[in-house]
Amino acid sequence: MRESVGLLGTGRMGTAIGRRLLAAGVGLTVWNRTPARTEPLVADGAVAAATPAALAACEVVFVAVSASADLLAVLDGPEGLLARPDGLRVVVDCSTVSAAASARARQLAADAGVGFVAAPVSGNPAVVAAGRACFVASAPAAQFAVAEPLLGRIGRAAVRVGDGEQSRLVKLCHNLYLGVLVQALAEVTALAEKGGADREAFLRFLGETVVGSPWVRDRTPALAAGDLTPTFTTALLRKDFDLGLAAAREHEVPMAVAGLTHQLVQAAIGRGLGERDLLSLFAVQAQASGLAPPG
Amino acid sequence: MRESVGLLGTGRMGTAIGRRLLAAGVGLTVWNRTPARTEPLVADGAVAAATPAALAACEVVFVAVSASADLLAVLDGPEGLLARPDGLRVVVDCSTVSAAASARARQLAADAGVGFVAAPVSGNPAVVAAGRACFVASAPAAQFAVAEPLLGRIGRAAVRVGDGEQSRLVKLCHNLYLGVLVQALAEVTALAEKGGADREAFLRFLGETVVGSPWVRDRTPALAAGDLTPTFTTALLRKDFDLGLAAAREHEVPMAVAGLTHQLVQAAIGRGLGERDLLSLFAVQAQASGLAPPG
């Protein structure tokens, strides 16, 4: 028998997730607030439902909506998924929502006798489509165990980091780490370049070493060219630093280098680079180093 | 015809380089200050020579000695490689030496009509033995072109970053980047852990994402266990920060995050962790965060 899986939200991320499930042979029922947006998945074999409540017979339902309020809206109320949770065991939320909304959703699910796995995704819809996404999940082990085989068919890995809302914090930690990495890369690239090294060759070398990551290799052409076309804006990076450092304040964890990076991100936004790519950190560093401005 | 290649210095790194060349079918002549240390390579098919000067008939000679003075000693003087450079086209120095010694060696070679490629290696002898080493080279393009095919048989990549001594600076940039990466990892790991995430699962997730590097994945077991057994000591990391930040001062490049990391490395050494692993940065961060000390 094919698994009976539901999907609430068929925007770019939801559609990418749904396609991976259909490709794996999973039986999929989908719903979206704007019904026309379910059409690509229906063309691939999914069944469209009229209300979230209609998915309550599925054993697992994925949620991929765009905001905190949308998450609560699809779960709660007379037409919500949790109204009559007939057969539903676990809700897997892949949306990017606040910890408060996630905790509220977890409580609503618990009240209905349903499990809740917070599973934000590392990777954009193109990464998900390529099967390269990585999920960071938090939920009690038994609930994660229900979701894990499906997460493993969507992406290449799913790691459970805790019982509750830890996955949201871990996603922020990931983005703090990314921001510091970009600033460190900006500093050493400026030093190598001012010392006479070829910028592109330097980045190519760094990408080949043990400290090289896919991110460094993927962004080397843009950084070599000084291209600030946004992939992730400086302003969005600041939002994650605001949230991540607030979480660190709450947990009483000092963040020396992340805190300084926060202010350097602020300096890039102060110079008017908020809507440019987060490689703006290099633009500011290059200017402070007396190098020709990138781009 | 087999290439005629020489190797001066058969310590751990030199032996690993020589083995890769022999395995690639290269004809190899070797010399070492302590002759007995050439025996493993001779057993594998190399020919031992009595003096550095005896290698001057080779087209390319690699140098892998342990200090600046040793580099000049093998090149200079009546028994030195450059005394009668019969057939010798290029010296490729894979030693870790000062920029001043490297520049002096380059001048000695030029005076003898021989090319000089500075090619420090990213990777320890075990990495070289596995064929995973990466070389960062600087030399005029024509000289690099002579060395490149051989470097490509020893390691997996050789990148030319400039005409002169830039490769030394790039190696320092690599180590500054590593140091900042370790501090950033220490901060986000402490935050994730204090927020209730499992440390090992958090690191496993980070290693799978686009910001994950081989270094993060290789060191995850040690960091998860709080194991400070030295792979690269905190004191050696400080030495590279001393040199790297002095170079940045010379080139007038501000290093905000690297400068702060320098002081945090100093704080770890001040607490008595100089001879422990550079993961000492996490030990200090854990203490400042009120977490149980690692290990």
Q: Looking at the predicted structure, is the pLDDT value of residue B2 above 60?
A: no
Mutate which: B178, B180, B232, vs A, most A CBs within 10 A = B180
Quick one: which of B176, B240, B256 has its CA closest to A209? B176
Cβ atoms B280, B228 nearer than 8 A: yes
R_g of chain B computed on alpha carbons: 21
Query: From residue B133, how far is each of A147, A191, B17, B122, B171 by CA, in Å?
Result: 40, 23, 10, 6, 13
Which residues, other chains included, contact A73 with Cβ-Cβ below 8 Å and sequence gap of 6+? A80
Per-residue pLDDT at A247: 95
Is the ipTM above a cut-off of 0.95?
no
Asked whether the beta carbons of B284 and B273 are under 8 A apart, the reply is yes
Locate CATH 3.40.50.720 in chain B.
Answer: 4-163
pLDDT tens per residue, range B8-25: 999 999 999 999 999 999
| Min Cα separation B151/chain A (Å) | 14
Q: Residues B153-164: what's their mean pLDDT?
A: 95
How close A83 comes to chain B (CA, Å)? 31
- Region of residue A138 (phi > 0: left; psi between -120 and 50: alpha; otherwise: beta): beta
What mean pLDDT comes out for the span A134-149? 97
Q: Which of B157, B191, B252 sits opposite A251 (nearest CB)?
A: B191
B169-288 has which fold? N-(1-d-carboxylethyl)-l-norvaline Dehydrogenase; domain 2 (1.10.1040)
The answer to whether residue B245 scores a pLDDT higher than 60 is: yes
Tell me how close the Cα of A56 comes to any Cα of chain B, in angstroms: 30
- Tell me if residue A59 falls in helix, strand or coil: coil
On whether the CB atoms of residues B234 and B265 are closer than 8 A, the answer is yes
Which of B185, B211, B237, B285 has the most A C-beta neighbours within 10 Å, making it the best mutation to test the interface with A?
Answer: B211
Q: Which residue of A has its CA nearest to B201?
A: A161
CB contact under 8 A, B198 and A161: yes
* Percent of chain A with pLDDT strictly greater than 90: 91
Q: Report the SS3 class of residue A117.
A: strand
Q: Which tens digit of pLDDT belongs to each residue from A97-121?
A: 888 899 999 999 999 999 999 999 8
Q: What angle do CA A9, A10, A16 make, to 5 degrees?
A: 120
pLDDT at A150 over 60: yes
Give the nearest partner residue to B191 out of A159, A173, A189, using CB atoms. A173
| Residue B82: strand, helix, or coil | coil
Residue B1 is predicted with a pLDDT of 42
SS3 B60: strand
CA distances from A221 to A137, A194, A216, A227, A282 (A): 32, 19, 9, 8, 14
DSSP code of residue B159: E
Rounded distance, CA A49 to CA B289, Å? Answer: 49
User: How far is the C-alpha of B116 from the C-alpha of B63, rounded, in Å?
Assistant: 11
The pLDDT value given to residue B187: 98
Residue B294: per-residue pLDDT: 66
pLDDT tens, residue by residue, B67-92: 899 999 999 999 999 999 989 999 99
Stretch A227-254: mean pLDDT, rounded? 96
B224, B203 in Cβ contact below 8 A?
A: yes
Quickly state the pLDDT bin for A2 (edges 50, 70, 90). low
pLDDT at B107: 96
User: Is residue A161 predicted with pLDDT exceeding 90?
Assistant: yes
Q: Which of B134, B205, B247 sits opposite A191 (nearest CB)?
A: B247
pLDDT band of A123, cuts 50, 70, 90: confident
Question: B170-180 pLDDT, tens per residue?
Answer: 999 999 999 99
Q: CATH 1.10.1040.10 region(s) of chain A?
A: 169-288
pLDDT in tens, B220-234: 999 999 999 999 999
- Inter-chain CB proximity B209 and A122 less than 8 Å: yes
Cβ within 8 Å of residue A164, ≥6 positions away? A103, A106, A118, A138, A139, B196
Q: Identify the CATH number of the domain defined by range B4-163.
A: 3.40.50.720
Contact A176 B197 (CB under 8 A): no
Confidence class for position B292, pLDDT limits 50, 70, 90 = confident
Q: Calculate mean pLDDT across residues A9-24.
A: 97
Q: Do B194 and A163 touch (CB under 8 A)?
A: no
Interface test with A, best of B210, B231, B260 (most A CBs within 10 A): B210
On average, the pLDDT of chain B sits at 95
Q: Judge: A188–B174 Cβ closer than 8 Å, yes or no.
A: yes
Mean pLDDT for chain A overall? 95
Q: Locate tokens 């102060």: which residue?
A: A270
Residue A217 phi/psi, 5-degree rounding, is -65, -40
Give SS3 for A87. Answer: coil
Confidence of residue A295 (pLDDT cuts 50, 70, 90): low
pLDDT band per the 50, 70, 90 thresholds, residue B123: confident
Q: Using CA of residue B53, residue B54, residue B57, residue B59, what is the dihedral sign?
A: negative
Mean pLDDT in residue range B44-51: 97
Asked whether the beta carbons of residue A176 and residue B187 sit closer than 8 angstroms, the reply is yes
In whole angstroms, give the CA distance from residue B146 to residue B142.
7
pLDDT of residue B102: 92
Closest-CA distance, B73 to chain A, in angstroms, reads: 28
Within B76-227, residue ranges assigned H as helices are 99-111, 125-129, 141-154, 166-194, 199-208, 214-225
Nearest to A255 by CA among B194, B174, B248: B194
Contacts of A159 in chain B (CB under 8 A): 201, 204-205, 208
Q: What is the pLDDT of residues A33-76, one digit of tens each?
A: 999 999 999 999 999 999 999 999 999 999 999 889 999 999 99
The length of chain A in residues reads 295
Residue for token digits 């998915």?
A55
